[in-house]
Amino acid sequence: FRFVLCTSGDSVKVYSTRTEEWLHSLQGHTNQVTGIALNRANHLQVYSCSADGTVKLWDFIDGILIKTFIIGYPLFAIYVSEKHDGIVFLHIAMDTDSKNECFQLVAVHLPKSAEQEVEAKELSAVSSRISPNPSCTAFGREGQYIAFARHLQLNVYFFRKQKTYSFSLKATDKKGAKNAFTCIACHPADDCIATGHEDGKIRLWRNFIHTKEYTYSTQHWHHNAVNTLCFTPEGTNLLSGGIESVLVQWQYGAGNRKEFLPRLGGSILHVSTSSDGQLFCTSHSDNKITVIESSFKVCGVIQGLVKGDAVLTDLMIDPRSKALVLNGKPGHLQFYSLMRDKHLYNLDIVQQEYIYEAGLDQFEVVKAAFDINGYWLATVEERGQKSSDLEFVLKLWAYDERTQSFVLNTTITAAHTDRIISMCFSSSEETTMLVTTAEDGQFKAWCQGADADTQQDQSFWSCEFVGSYHNLKPTNCSFSADSSLLAVNFQEVITIWSPDTWELLTTLCQPPGVVRDLCFGRLSCSKYLIATTTRNLLCCWNLLTCALEWSTSVEVSKLQPDPLSENVAAFSYQSKHTDLFVFKPSEPRPLFTHKNMCSEKIHRAVFVPREEPLNNCDESSQWLNRSQLYFLTQNMDLLTFSTATEEDRMLSSSKRLVIDDSVAVTPFYLLLGKHRQQQQKLNTPSHPAADKPQQPQGSVTITELLHTPAHVLPAASVLCSMLVSSLLISNTGVRKDPLREMESSEQEMNSEKEEEHSEEEMEACDSQQELRAQGSVDEVTPKLSKAQERELKRIRKTDFSWMTGLIDSKP
């Protein structure tokens, strides 16, 4: 009951329920993992099924793949029952149906053999024509029957009698009920089936061995479809969840007595209980898992990248925390750390209660922009996109050092007379200026200025300049790298303004075709202005000559410049797939081309600066050296490009995981093993990728000391010297490496909580690396003498100086 498992892409992630930390993932499937089910015979094992046609059995505590069963068809859900040992039930698509709308339930006998990979051939169909929704199938008491529903029909199949009973409901009645089944749960001890329905009703079916005298009782609390139902292991309660994001606990047998746990976040998709009934777990549509105690108290939240209905804002990087910023919870901006793949926090922009109901028109954050220092954040929230009366608010947020978060500075309710299309901050360090363009044909420049009326030292934002051009509609605006120029495009025309004097310098025009996207080049290419048009044209102007440098015919859906290099990435959507081109504005040839990257249109992308630049010699991946490109597909999948060395590293770490079980991992061993590992690391500096988490060394030891139970710690004298020595080493390391110093100071800036988290991950990483150390150290010595310690310290010092010399010489 200490672990929560959830499927995530092609792996199964294991989380701890106590600390909510990601422990490890079970990787091995080659396609989407579609279902997991605990092995009833061994509670430490879990089955997973995938669309790649295999069922894998895992030891989820250690993350070991035990067996692979090859079924051969794409699998869509998996169920196991206590009674049927060695049999799993799977959803597969009907062969006859090409649209994948028809599914059948098959029982697969898993052959018992010692081999790793077994082909399971014994398939027997239990039922055809079942619902594609996996929650519409459930096993009844002791696996005696299976209940599955499809549309308006509930079927109960008894294994012993081999008989199916069917019950159907009317599609609708006079009161407008929608009776389609959405989910099913069976009582563990009684013969009672709970079904959830599209209109929010929950029916409890009994007596279902009679085709006529069956009976059901109806409960109605949810106002929308019930997404999930789950009985507690003892059967005393029934849990249900839906779009309202309220977990409802119905007391079984006590009519309408119920408890609520509201405001859990996104709509509830799944509920499951631990086998002792102590913990409940809900998964939400916004990529979140909530761990709930049986006393109906939330005790943990596991949050991934918050998935809203749509990402309306651009992908942005918070210059301070280097976190990815985009739409999160409704009305919020989320800050997501890409380094650690962890959700940091949500910033409430709208500051209104969100109502979880479909079809309501509520405020949404549609635009957001950071200034270059990360000190200012501008947001636009909008309501009434569908109706005619549009409401929107421009808000400016200042970063507060004290509270380490953004604080609302200025709210501008009528910034423009029509909706704001785009906005950007000036890129110079000295003055911060915000430019907004709107559908009313104007662009406005906003500046921070002290308000004369209020005698406070706080300064608020006010409009400085209103510009327009022939009453055309502006769409995009962009500042040049040094903020000396502002480019605003008015349909076909690009106008260049000087922000100092607000003088129209020049206009650039390349008809036909309305300009869709524009950006300035960076660094050495800052004299170039690149624009894309709706007529499939990518143009590059030289601003010194005000002439078109080059243009090429390519349909570009997104243009993204890299702030740390000259590179510009262009996503082109043609004939139902997206191609990526990376080029420098100075030359019309692409540096890198990736054809047929994905089948969806890409509208959001961002370059994320790396913490330390890679030095990749590979021609094709050099553009990724300074920053990484992330992009978001329409399915809300965040994808990135990685280099070959990174892949190698990931692969090797996962391999190491597998052979992990031969060594007993005690905290004591961890403590001592780390020193060996560090030693090892320093001896092999040619493998720089391995020490990815660059952490101040001392604090690891301290937290480990604090977290390890006292009775397993070595003697205090040993610890003391180790502590001192580790502190010494980290200091020297920091002093000598300026780059690392910057990082460590950055990390210290992070909140305490985050630091804790990173320590945890560090531990996980350590356990992997100590195995590598195993090869060099023959036997594990429980204690180290002071002489040995000193020796270690010496080696370390010398090594470090040598390595930093190497790094310095590298560029």
Partner 1 sequence: MAVARMDGSVEVFHCSDRFFQEKIIPGREQCGIEGLSWVGERLFSAGLNGGITEYDLTNQKAKYTIDAYGGPIWAIAGNQQGTHLAVGCEDGTVKLFEVNEDSIQFERNLDRQKSRIVSLSWHPSGSKIAAGMMDMIQVFNIETGHSLHRMLADRGVGTSRSKECVVWSVVYLSDGTIITGDSVGMVKLWDDQTGTLIKSHNVTKCDVLALSVSQNEDSLVAGTSEGIVVQFQFVSMVLEKDDKEWVRTRTFRNHTHDIRAVAEITTAVVSGGMDAQLVVRPLLDKIEERSAASALRKIHFPHRRLVSCARKSGLMLFQYPGHLELWRLGESEGKGSSLFVKRNPEKLLHLKVKGEDHIRCSAVSPCGEWIVYSTASTLRLYRLHCDNNNISITKISKLPKVLSSASQLCFSSDSSHLFSASAQSSVHLVSISQSGCKFVGTLKPKSGERTIGFLAIHLLAASEDGKWVASANSDHEVHIYNLQTRKAHCTVPVYSSAVTAMGIHPATNCVFMMHADQQMFEYSIEQKQYTDWSRTVQRKGLHRLWVERDTPCLNVMFSPQNPSHVILHDMYMLCIIDQSLVRQTRIQKAFSLIFLILVDLCIYIYIYIYIYICLLFQLPAPIKQKKFAT
Residues that bind partner 1 (CB under 8 A): 141, 189-192, 206-210, 212-218, 253-257
> Which is closer to partner 1, CB of 207 or CB of 454?
207
Secondary structure of residue 526 in the 3-state scheme? coil
> Given the complex with partner 1, which of 30 and 215 has the nearer CB atom?
215
Kindly state the smallest distance separating residue 217's Cβ from partner 1, in Å. Answer: 4
* Integer angstrom CA distances of residue 81 from 53, 86, 126, 140, 257: 21, 9, 14, 9, 30
Contacts (Cβ under 8 Å, ≥6 apart) of 641? 594, 621, 624, 628, 629
Concatenated DSSP letters of 527-547: TEEEEEETTTEEEEEETTTTE
For residue 190, the minimal CB distance to partner 1 (Å) is: 4
- Collapsing DSSP to helix, strand or coil, 724 comes out as helix
Exposed, middle or buried: residue 425 (CB in 10 Å: 0-12, 13-18, 19+)? buried
Residues 6+ apart with CB under 8 A from 370: 316, 317, 318, 319, 325, 376, 377, 425
Provide the minimum distance between the beta carbon of 198 and partner 1 in the complex, in angstroms, as a whole number.
19
> 554 near 547, Cβ under 8 Å?
no
Nearer to partner 1, 176 or 775 (CB): 176
| Minimum CB distance to partner 1, residue 256 (Å) | 7
For partner 1, the closer of residues 114 and 358 by Cβ is 358
Shortest distance (Å) from residue 221 CB to partner 1? 10
User: Please, are residues 16 and 281 in contact by the beta-carbon 8 Å criterion?
Assistant: no
Phi and psi of 42, rounded to 5°?
-135, 115
Q: C-alpha angle 27/104/170, rounded to 5°?
A: 125
Q: Output 218 or 785, the one with its CB closest to partner 1.
A: 218
Q: Both tokens of residue 347?
A: 């910033």
Residue 278, Cβ neighbours under 10 Å: how many? 14
Closer residue to partner 1 (CB): 201 or 793: 201
How do strand 103-109 and strand 117-119 relate by DSSP bridges? Answer: unpaired
Residue 147: CB minimum distance to partner 1, A: 13
Q: How far apart are CA 45 and CA 47, in angstroms?
A: 7
Distance (Å, whole) CA 543 – CA 485 = 10
Provide, rounded to whole angstroms, the least separation between the CB of residue 152 and partner 1.
Answer: 16
- Sequential DSSP letters for 82-100: SSSTTEEEEEEE-SS-TTS
Helix (H, G, I), strand (E, B) or coil at 176: coil
Smallest separation (angstroms) from partner 1 to the CB of 263: 14
Residue 212 CB, shortest distance to partner 1, in Å, is: 5
Task: State the minimum distance, in angstroms, from the CB of residue 5 to partner 1.
Answer: 31
The counts of H helices and E strands in the chain are: 7, 55
Pick the closer one to partner 1 by CB: 234 or 482: 234
Q: Which is nearer to partner 1, 223 or 595 (CB)?
A: 223
Structure tokens given for 480: 């040049």
Q: How far is the CB of 237 from partner 1 (least distance, A)?
A: 16
- Report yes or no: 289 and 299 within 8 Å, Cβ to Cβ: no
C-alpha 436/C-alpha 442 separation (Å) is: 8
Instruction: Give whichever of 215 and 454 is closer to partner 1, judged by the CB atom.
Output: 215
Quote the CA–CA distance of 808 and 681 in Å, as a whole number: 19
CA 108 to each of CA 86, 88, 122, 288: distance values in angstroms, whole numbers, following the listed order: 8, 5, 6, 32
- Kindly state the smallest distance separating residue 125's Cβ from partner 1, in Å: 25
Please check whether residue 672 is in contact with residue 666, taking contact to mean a CB–CB distance below 8 angstroms. Answer: no
In the bound complex, what is the minimum distance in angstroms from residue 203's beta carbon to partner 1?
Answer: 10
159 versus 550: smaller Cβ distance to partner 1:
159
* Comparison of 99 and 174: residue with beta carbon closer to partner 1: 174
CB-nearer residue toward partner 1: 255 or 359: 255
- Please say which residue, 169 or 398, places its beta carbon nearer to partner 1: 169
